[in-house]
């Protein structure tokens, strides 16, 4: 693929030509225009060339919040290299171990989100046991979180990335005039699609917080009049629990939640406090956006909205497992392919059903427990537990027991105010659930552990549940 055949590079070139001096990435104290970003990317591409990196090289990319990630991405693609999107908050040894497993040949990182020159970047050559032969037509390699095992790569074509951007812009009503608040890291699939691509493709202003304090994003939103805020349920939950929250920025017209299920009570509390609905968005790293709630009430109904234009879904008739077809579906898993992802189709592990055109997620196929010979969906039990007064959140899973794998139900319950214990949980569940669905063990914590992406830390929860 020639660099100008890459649709993202082509769109950015048009953006830079149309409005070269307009801010493209900004915080309350500094900004880079499209021309600044173009120049930084060109200089960094020159350094990559001088150090021998180029076509077909898979190179890890990590950068602190700011303009650096965008510059690094453009520089790598101009060298026909394939960026491997790395979370800058992840410990470096873990990050490098994941890259070496994939066969990545280099690592590009910026500790400063606004690097002064190409020399401000750290650029290291890796020596993996088996080097990955990346296809230059891949626009990126995303990394899974590894919450249920070792992280693996997802190779996504540049055309698929551009298709996802176009489909989501149409569904969400995003435009060049939007100013999008960057709370979600750009390295995450969600942040890459809803933050970085709108900036590069349409010239939407990317609004960056001054620091990582919890309320810094809203200070940046006020200063730069942000209009769109993609965020995660954990942030919204913390916001609605504040006894005295700062005034919500009047410029924000669209609040989007993704990355994990948004509890209906959180969506309702946010709407009542801020006079804005939360629009839920459901997608996957392997397929891009799947559903979106344009109307703004789906989260309160417990659904994730309707199918994004350009996406087709099907439900496995046996289990209700969701399958996705779309121009945005990724190419393959790395380092090993898997049948779940191939030929423009992604078979998710999510169980779902259609309700009046909306999708309701019912849990994951690999979470089902078999108790006394009967299937139990832990998400059903969690919904009952969250209705128990004093419970803030709950996680239920099947653990191995005398009757076999995942034959016992255990619950981890978050209750900050206390007053919740095993007898109370069991009594509550027995009034509302069949006996085989009642948890046989309960661990009470103040807060459920989460990863840096805001997702539940399933490994830590499994240890808690024992």
Give 432-456 pLDDT, tens digit per residue.
998 999 999 999 999 999 877 677 8
Q: What are the pLDDT digits (tens) for 56-108?
A: 999 999 999 999 999 999 999 999 999 999 988 877 888 888 899 999 999 99
Question: What gap in Å lies between CA 259 and CA 280, rounded to an integer?
Answer: 10
Q: What is the domain class of 3-362 according to CATH?
A: alpha beta
d(CA 347, CA 350): 9
Burial class (CB in 10 A: 0-12, 13-18, 19+), 81: buried
**Residue partners of 347: CB distance under 8 A and separation at least 6:** 316, 321, 322, 323, 324, 339, 340, 341
For residue 58, the tally of other CB atoms under 10 A from its CB is: 27
**pLDDT above 70 coverage of the chain, percent:** 97
Query: Which helix or strand (DSSP H or E) is residue 8 part of?
Result: helix 7-18
pLDDT for 291: 98
Distance between CA atoms of 431 and 384, rounded to whole angstroms? 10
Among 167, 143, 226, 158, which residue's Cα sits nearest to residue 7? Answer: 158
CA distance readout (Å), 325 to 71, 234, 259: 31, 29, 20
Q: Is the pLDDT of residue 4 over 60?
A: no
Q: Is 116 exposed, middle or buried (0-12, 13-18, 19+ CB in 10 A)?
A: exposed
Contact 145, 451 (CB under 8 A): yes
Strands 312-315 and 345-355: unpaired
Residue 284 has pLDDT above 90, yes or no: yes
Domain boundaries, the chain: 3-362, 368-465
Confidence (pLDDT) at 48? 98
- Output the pLDDT for position 145: 67
Q: Residue 463: which residues within 8 A CB-CB, separation 6 or more?
A: none
Query: Is the pLDDT assigned to residue 147 strictly greater than 60?
Result: no
For the domain made up of 368-465, the CATH class stated in words is alpha beta
Separation CA 439–CA 396 (nearest Å): 8
- Specify the pLDDT at position 407: 87
Residue 125 to residues 17, 21, 60, 141, Cα–Cα distance (Å): 34, 35, 10, 18
In this prediction, residue 126 carries a pLDDT of 95
Q: Global pTM?
A: 0.86
Residue with tokens 């070792």: 150
pLDDT of residue 148: 47
Tell me whether strands 228-231 and 205-208 are parallel, antiparallel or unpaired: unpaired
Helix (H, G, I), strand (E, B) or coil at 12: helix
Burial of 323 (0-12, 13-18, 19+ CB in 10 A): middle
């Amino acid at each position: 693929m020639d660099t100008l055949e890459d649709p993202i590079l082509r769109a950015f070139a048009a953006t830079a030509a149309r409005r070269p001096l307009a801010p493209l990435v900004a915080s309350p104290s500094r900004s880079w225009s499209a021309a600044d970003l173009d120049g930084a990317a060109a200089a960094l591409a020159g350094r990559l060339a001088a150090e021998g990196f180029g076509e077909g090289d898979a190179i890890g990319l990590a950068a602190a919040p700011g303009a650096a990630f965008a510059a690094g991405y453009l520089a790598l693609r101009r060298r026909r290299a394939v960026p491997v999107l790395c979370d800058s908050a992840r410990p470096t040894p873990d990050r490098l171990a994941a890259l070496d497993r994939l066969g990545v040949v280099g690592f590009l990182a910026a500790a400063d989100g606004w690097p002064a020159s190409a020399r401000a970047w750290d650029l290291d050559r890796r020596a993996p046991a088996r080097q990955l032969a990346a296809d230059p037509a891949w626009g990126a390699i995303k990394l899974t979180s590894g919450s249920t095992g070792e992280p693996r790569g997802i190779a996504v074509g540049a055309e698929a990335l551009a298709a996802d951007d176009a489909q989501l812009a149409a569904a969400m009503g995003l435009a060049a005039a939007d100013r999008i608040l960057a709370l979600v890291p750009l390295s995450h699939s969600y942040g890459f699609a809803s933050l970085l691509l709108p900036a590069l493709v349409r010239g939407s202003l990317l609004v960056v917080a001054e620091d990582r304090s919890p309320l810094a994003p809203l200070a940046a939103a006020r200063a730069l009049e942000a209009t769109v805020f993609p965020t995660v349920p954990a942030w919204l939950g913390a916001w609605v629990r504040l006894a005295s929250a700062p005034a919500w920025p009047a410029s924000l017209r669209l609040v989007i939640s993704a990355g994990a299920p948004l509890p209906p009570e959180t969506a309702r509390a946010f709407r009542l406090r801020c006079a804005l609905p939360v629009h839920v968005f459901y997608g996957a790293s392997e397929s891009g956006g799947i559903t979106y709630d344009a109307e703004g009430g789906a989260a309160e109904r417990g659904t994730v909205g309707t199918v994004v234009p350009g996406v087709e879904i099907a439900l496995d008739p046996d289990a209700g497992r969701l399958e996705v077809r779309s121009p945005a579906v990724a190419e393959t898993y790395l380092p090993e392919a898997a049948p779940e992802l191939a030929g423009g189709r992604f078979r998710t592990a999510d169980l779902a059903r259609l309700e009046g055109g909306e999708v309701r997620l019912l849990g994951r196929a690999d979470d089902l427990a078999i108790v006394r010979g009967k299937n139990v969906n832990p998400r059903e039990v969690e919904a009952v537990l969250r209705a128990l007064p004093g419970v803030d959140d709950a996680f239920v899973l099947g653990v191995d027991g005398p009757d076999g794998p995942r034959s016992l139900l255990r619950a981890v319950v978050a209750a900050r105010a206390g007053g919740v214990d095993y007898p109370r949980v069991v009594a509550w569940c027995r009034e509302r659930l069949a006996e085989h669905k009642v948890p046989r063990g309960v661990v009470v914590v103040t807060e459920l552990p989460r990863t840096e992406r805001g997702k539940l830390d399933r490994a830590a929860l499994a240890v808690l549940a024992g």
